[in-house]
Structures are given as structure tokens and as C-alpha cells.
Structure 1
């Protein structure tokens, strides 16, 4: 009986212990939920979302982000072709025309890491909202400059409903107006992460790799019967001038003037040569097919063999490595990307994967290492 009594005493602890365990477990769950929602600001799912303003099916959708610049959540309407929506606006507005552009006032030089040799770039105001005004420089108002300007403007129009592309606000003659992003081009990443240290983690950095691939996949999607490939860039830093960082450390492509358009005929991309007459692309950052093949002769663009969008695939591993930056992160992540990166670096462009294939592999690695509650890398700060 004594043994039985002692056994029951150990098996049936006082009721207050049950309540202690229960409340302890409940508090742990609450703390974990708060940590994931608010203390991991680089988590895209918890900081960047779309919602409908009312129950009405005619009300606009709003995209909301956590802005590190404003230190708050801010939203803007999601607009269709021919319209724009800036953060703080309640409804979409048609692209500004020549008359409306006259109402834009104020102008200060935008903080860029490149001076912009073709266009003047200024921050201005439209009805209290920050916008960017880009104007062809006087000494570049010629046929070629106008052709590139019109080409870039048309691309912004064609992809205006895609969040991966800089949002067009208006245009008139040799002036275009776009959305403003305070963090400027992607070459500023390291400088900004030194300020916003909570975002300097693998989630933020690897998400930028994914964003770059989302953009590549979009440009290579064949929208409008064309594929677009990058022509302006002999190094990672030059390429990153063409991308902007959003307030929540996402990536958008901004400078699209130098994208070459490749027509699709019978399902096959028609090859071209990047139309930069004086530039020799024979540097390691560029794909082998962009290199001048006749070493004993001076460069002549008219004799250059054409190529297709696979020149972009070659650059993917180098761009992603620049985003990861910190060596411990590379050691943990790059082995998982080795096979797909080696395929990207194939000397034969036909054996390189499509951008969508690379994106699929990178997303799988992201889910394995960071997503779905994985803690392998999600708490690793650089």
C-alpha cells in the first residue's frame, strides 16, 4: 500500500502544476508568433501583402509593405495598364500627361551611385508625393538617345502591371516620371544594411537573389512576342545600377533603356547583338558568346556573331553571390546551388537552363534553408 500510495503521489501532481505548464506553453506560442511577425522584418510574407479595401468587388487592391525608411506599414493601390498608384494614395490615377506634368514642382538631385550620362534624374513632388523626373540631357537629344528613351519608355508601359518593374507615373516628349525609391540603386545595399541592421540577414539577402530571378523570368517570358536581355553591364556593379531597392529591401528593375528585344518566331528566340557599337564585351562577367571571337582583329560589331537571352543566365551566379556577400552565408548556401550554378556557367548557351528553371531550384533551396519555419539559416545575421 505504501508503494502504491507513493506511486500515486508522483503520478498525480498538484493542479497548480498543470496550470503552470499550460500557461507556460501558451506564453511560448505567443512569443514565437510575435517574434516571427515583428522581429524578423525581412520576412516578405509578414511585411508585404495585398488586401482589398472594402468588401466591394470594385474597390482597388492595396499592396502594403513595412518601410524601413518610414518605420511603418504603408500601402498603395495596385493598378492596371495606364494607371499608377503611389504609397499613401487611395485610388489609381491615369498616367500623367504633358499638362499634368507642369504641376510637378521642386527638384533635388537624386542620390545615385552613377551620375547618369544620358538622363538628368531628379526627385520632385506631385501633389505632395515624391516622384522621380528623368529628362534627356540637352547634349544627348539626338536620334540614338531618343530611340533608347522611347524604347525604355515602351518597356515600362508594357510591364506596367508587374511589381518587379519600376512603376511609370507619366511622360511627355523627352521627360518621364516614375515612382521614387529612397534606398536608390542596388549598389547601396551594404551601406543601407549597416544602418538597418535587423535586415542584414540571410532572408533579406537570399530574397534579393530570388527577386533578380523573378525579374529575369519576367523579361524572358515572351510577353508581347518578345524576349528581353541585358546589354548594359560589364560588371556586377554596372548591372546593379539598373535595379532599385524598395523600402522593404526588395528589387525592381529601373533602367530598361539598354534591354535588347529579341523576337520569338515559331517558338524560337531570334538572336541579336547588343547594339552598343564601341563596346567589347570580352570580360569574364559576360557570357562567352558575347566575347569578340577574332582575337587578331580589332572589334567590329558588324562581324559579331549574334546571341540570345541566355547571356543573362550566365550572370546569375555572380549577381547572387554579390547579394550574399558575407562568406559564412556563401559557405552554407552555395553548395546547395552548385549544380544549377554550374549549368548557368555552361560555355554552350544551349545547355544553360531557362530563367524559370533556375528560379525553381533557388526557390526550393530557399524553402529548405529558410522557409516553412526552417531555422537552419533564418536567424543567421551577418
Structure 2
């Protein structure tokens, strides 16, 4: 091979080398750019989801509400607004002193018809002062507890002198928790999802005892199943307080105990569900005009029974029975502190919540189906 040809071959080799290297650089740059685009898109989607999640869970300020696809908070509806919609109401429930209807309100922001629950004093009871006072107190309590993720959302209020109306979020999809536990959907829930519902109930007690101003006792808890009826399951699947007719303030450190009303005719429905200090004989109850002193520790006594009911009611699957049993076994220690006879020595709702979350994390890491 002559010298000229040799140099030509060398030049061709170098050219091929740099060409390959250049192509490789271009390809790598292209891949990096594509990866950048993918990462950028993922970040954008994540940011949008976080914004959407925040907007759907962010609480409105007191006196305002937001439901469904409403983009902004709306001021509570007043008498003028309620007068326009109450004429087209459909009864969906009620109690001894109140009736509950579903009504439609058109949101100006979205143009959508929003379904709301309308609560009013039962017309046949308006002359019975103690019933009217109880229903009206429940309305005032509900408004005073706003805003909170642990309480049903209020949408409006009206007092026209003869009648009082309260508008709230409508939980038409699942309804009250005591009825939902008989629903086929509840029976299909995983054990962990049921436990999360129990955690949300404990969060409600933390709110009442520690985060709602003065500590409040939930007096209207007489039996595990009836206690579930004090909560609603929202359409986005949260367990929230709804029936708050009887929430006296506990200031026992100042020797001002909460006073709970005894059950009708001073007859206890479920004696063991009540804390020892809440139990009574019929004679003693009558002498005290049905008034029973209590503290927030009376609520603590009842939490283990409420949780056990949620985890074990209507469970037919053997695997879920075993899962419920395992969770309750893990909760045995904290539940024993709930059941101490001396109320002052019982644990707090905050301590229960902390332990429940620890147990939830344990079973999630154990890959229990969620």
C-alpha cells in the first residue's frame, strides 16, 4: 500500500469515527430531550392532580361552602334563597323532632343543579318546646363546628320566626353509617378500608375533644349500631359527624361537668356500652330528672366497641374475619386503656388516633389488601 492511499484510509477511519460519535451524541441528546419531555409532562400532570386534590379538599372559610364541581366557595344560602327551593322538596328521612328533605339549588358558578339536604323542625312538634330546642341546638352546633373535614358541610340557614331551616351537604349515595354497613358495597370493602372508616370516626372525636374550642362530649351514643347512625358517609367516601343535637361542653377541671340526657324513661339500651360513670338505676335517674354528668372520657370508653362493630359486622368472608381479628389484636393494648374504670386514667382520643395510624401502617407494609 502506497503512502497516499494509507493516509486516505486513515482519514476515512477518522471520519467514520467522528460521524458515529456525532450520531451517538445526537441520539443521546434526542433521548435526553424525550426523557425531559416525559418528565416535564409527568410533573405537569402531578401538579394538576395536586391542585385538583387541594381544591376538592380545601375548606371554605366560616359561612361559606363548596360542593361537587363548584370551583369557588359560595356564601351560605339565606332565607330568600331557601324560600325559592323549599317548595320543591322531597322527604328522605327524619327523627323524633325533625324532617329531612332533598332540594335542588342551581349553582351560578357552574350552572349545575346541586342537591342539598334541607332540615326543619317536624311541624307536628313545633309546639313541644323541648323538642324544638333540641333540634335548634343541633343546628347551632353544626354551624358552630364549621368548617371541618370531620363534620358535614353546612350550606345555609334560615330562621323566619315560625320555623328554622338548615341546608347541608347531601350524602345521598351512601347515607348514614348505620345503614351503610348493611349495604352490599360495604360488605365488599377490604378490611383496611373499614379500618380507615374507624380511623375517621376517631378523628371526629379528636376534633370534638381537642380542636373545636371547648371540649365537647357526644352524649347521643347509647349503643354501637346507634352510634354509627350519628355519622354519614359522604359521596366522596368520608365518614363525618352529622347528628350533633347533644354536645355539651366538658369543663370538669373547673368542676363544670357536661350534662347528658338519659335515654327515654331512664331505661339504658346497652349498659356495657356506656362508661361506668354514665350508668344509672331508673330510680336515681328519675330523681336527677334524667340528667347524667359526664366528661369526654365517656366517649373514649365507647370507641373500642364502635371500631369492633365496624370491623366485624356483616363479615362472611373467612379471610376478612381473620384480618379483622388480627387488627383488633393489635389494638388490644390501646383499647384496654380506653376501658379503665377510672375515667381520669383512660387514654385520650389523640393517643388512640396515633396508635390506630401505627397499626394501619403496619398492615399496609404487610401487604394486607387495601
Common fold, TM-score beyond 0.5? yes
Residue 362 of structure 1 corresponds to 356
Residue 349 of structure 1 corresponds to 343
Deviation of the 1:125 alpha carbon: 0.6
Structural mapping, 1:101-112, within 5 Å: 101-104=82-85, 105-110=87-92
Instruction: Count residues in correspondence.
Output: 301
Give the distance between the partners of 1:295 and 1:165, measured in 2 at CA: 34
Give the distance between the partners of 1:269 and 1:204, measured in 2 at CA: 40
1:189 correspondence with 2:180: yes
CA distances 1:121-166 after superposition (whole Å, capped 9, x unpaired)? 1111111110001110123224323322332222222221111101
Give the distance between the partners of 2:195 and 2:123, measured in 1 at CA: 41
Residue 81 of structure 1 corresponds to 62
Residue 158 of structure 1 corresponds to 144
Q: Please, what TM-score do these two structures have when normalized by structure 1?
A: 0.72
Structure with the bigger percentage of helix: 2
Residue 19 of structure 2 corresponds to none
Say which SS state the counterpart of residue 177 (structure 1) adopts. Answer: strand
Residues 124/337 of structure 1: CA separation in 2 closer, same or farther (3 Å cut): same
Say which SS state the counterpart of residue 261 (structure 1) adopts. Answer: coil
Residue 239 of structure 2 corresponds to 251
Q: Please, what TM-score do these two structures have when normalized by structure 2?
A: 0.74
8 Å CA contact retained: 1:50, 1:63: no
Structural mapping, 1:269-348, within 5 Å: 270-276=256-262, 278-281=265-268, 283-292=271-280, 299-302=286-289, 306-325=293-312, 326=315, 327-348=321-342
Gaps of 5+ in 1: 1-45, 54-60, 65-76
Residue 62 of structure 1 corresponds to 55
Deviation of the 1:107 alpha carbon: 2.0
Larger Rg: 2
Deviation of the 1:270 alpha carbon: 3.0
Structural mapping, 1:110-125, within 5 Å: 110=92, 115-125=94-104
Residue 11 of structure 2 corresponds to none
Backbone CA RMSD of aligned residues: 2.6
Deviation of the 1:344 alpha carbon: 0.5
Give the distance between the partners of 1:82 and 1:297, measured in 2 at CA: 43
Residue 212 of structure 2 corresponds to 223
1:175 correspondence with 2:160: no
Residues 230/50 of structure 1: CA separation in 2 closer, same or farther (3 Å cut): farther
Say which SS state the counterpart of residue 273 (structure 2) adopts. Answer: coil
Deviation of the 1:52 alpha carbon: 6.0
Gaps of 5+ in 2: 1-45, 107-112, 316-320
Residue 205 of structure 1 corresponds to 194
Give the distance between the partners of 1:196 and 1:290, measured in 2 at CA: 32
Residues 162/305 of structure 1: CA separation in 2 closer, same or farther (3 Å cut): closer
